[in-house]
Amino acid sequence: MSGHLEGASTLFYKEILRFWKVAVQTVAAPVLTAVLYLLIFGHVLEDHVKVFDQVGYTSFLIPGLVMMSVLQNAFANSSSSLIQSKVTGNLVFLLVTPLSHWAWLVAYVGASVVRGLVVGLGVLLVTVWFAPLGLAAAGWVLVFALLGAALMGALGLVAGLWAEKFDQIAAFQNFIVMPMTFLSGVFYSIGSLPPFWQGVSHLNPFFYIVDGFRR
């Protein structure tokens, strides 16, 4: 048991180092993207869109951008790591180690959670100055962030195991992950949609993660 824990912690540490070595690309770039979304949508729609009576559009938008960044980057971390290992051929060095499947899961999903939370915290720290935010329940904020990142890290693990080349991972992210996160109510309240599209939105599991975190 101790050997498996040590192996999982070593692989977890390796995955942390992998994305931190290129933090400009894996952390700073997503934060900048979220800030650009905020500047564009917040500036254009702040005076034209009223989501709730006492909540401005920018205050509504910021938590959505934070959670969207957490989800997308948690998925990207595990999926990109596995596909890179497959393409470069170094995955064989991990396969010959006596690591259990649980050790793999803990290491890859754990590192994805860390990257997602780091990016989300970066987005929050940069954008919180643009509008007042009220923290209604800190415990639930953390729960939704952790579970959302873990879910997407596990989904990225599945995608990485399935894909054989970078094109397949890109297609998975561009045609499944990105549309589902963008259509989860990040930029709008689903209450403003017609009844049919509200029903469709409730079929999107990402909606509940974003909405729970925002509330």
* Tens of pLDDT, residue by residue, the chain (215 residues): 454 567 788 888 989 998 999 999 999 999 999 989 888 877 666 655 566 666 677 778 888 899 999 999 999 999 999 999 888 888 887 777 777 888 888 999 999 999 999 999 999 998 888 776 777 778 888 999 999 999 999 999 999 989 888 889 989 888 988 888 888 878 787 777 788 888 888 888 888 888 888 87
At residue 39, the pLDDT reads: 84
Q: Are 185 and 35 in contact (CB under 8 A)?
A: no
What is the spatial distance between Cα 78 and Cα 215, in angstroms, rounded to a whole number?
28
| Torsion, CA 66, CA 70, CA 71, CA 76, rounded to 10 | 140
At residue 62, the pLDDT reads: 85
| 148 phi/psi in degrees, rounded to 5 | -65, -45
User: Which single residue is written with the structure tokens 């564009």?
Assistant: 40
| Torsion, CA 192, CA 193, CA 195, CA 197, rounded to 10 | -150
185: left (phi over 0), alpha (psi -120 to 50) or beta: left
Tell me how far the alpha carbon of residue 68 is from its chain's centroid.
6
At residue 48, the pLDDT reads: 56
Cα angle 171, 60, 203; round to 5: 45
At residue 77, the pLDDT reads: 93
What is the spatial distance between Cα 117 and Cα 27, in angstroms, rounded to a whole number?
10
Domain that holds residue 131: 2-214
| 184 phi/psi in degrees, rounded to 5 | -100, 15
In this structure, what token pair is assigned to residue 185?
A: 């109510």
At residue 45, the pLDDT reads: 62
- Note if the pTM is more than 0.75: yes
Tell me how far the alpha carbon of residue 140 is from its chain's centroid.
17
What is the spatial distance between Cα 50 and Cα 174, in angstroms, rounded to a whole number?
30
What are the contacts of 97-100 at 24+ separation with CB within 8 A? 97/7, 98/3, 98/7, 99/4, 99/7, 99/8, 99/11, 100/4
What is the spatial distance between Cα 148 and Cα 140, in angstroms, rounded to a whole number?
12
Give the end-to-end CA distance of the chain in Å, rounded to a whole number: 40
The number of folded domains in the chain is 1
What is the spatial distance between Cα 118 and Cα 111, in angstroms, rounded to a whole number?
11
At residue 150, the pLDDT reads: 95
What is the spatial distance between Cα 19 and Cα 26, in angstroms, rounded to a whole number?
6
